[in-house]
């Protein structure tokens, strides 16, 4: 490994690190977003199961979950007004 790195001059090495970092950071961000979304869904599923075990109705569960959402009231109104 040190033989490979010794072939590069200081400027070339900085360029290599910049290019590798430029490719690695978006990949790492994408993987992190996927993992975060997975754990969020697992927690939400566990919460729904707990509420079902407590005997809450589907409408009560929907109200509780929507109360914790970060959507604006205007967006919520638009979504609710589309239901027939």
Radius of gyration of the chain (CA): 24
Which residues are within 8 A (CB) of 56 and not within 5 positions of it... i.e. 6 or more apart?
64
Q: Rounded to whole angstroms, how far apart are CA atoms 49 and 31?
A: 27
Listed in sequence order, the DSSP H helices in 1-84 are: 2-6, 10-53, 58-67, 73-81
Q: Which domain holds residue 38?
A: 2-81
What's the whole-number mean pLDDT along residues 51-59? 94
In total, how many domains does the chain have?
1
pLDDT tens profile 1-51: 778 878 888 898 899 899 999 999 999 999 999 999 999 999 999 999 999
Question: What is the pTM for the complete model shown?
Answer: 0.59
């Amino acid at each position: 490994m040190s033989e490979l790195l010794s072939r590069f001059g200081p400027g070339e090495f900085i360029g290599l690190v910049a290019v590798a970092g430029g490719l690695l950071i978006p990949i790492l961000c994408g993987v992190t977003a996927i993992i975060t979304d997975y754990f969020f869904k697992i927690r939400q599923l566990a919460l729904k199961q707990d509420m079902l075990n407590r005997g809450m109705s589907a409408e009560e569960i929907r109200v509780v979950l929507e109360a914790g959402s970060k959507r604006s009231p205007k967006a919520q109104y638009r979504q609710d007004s589309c239901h027939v």
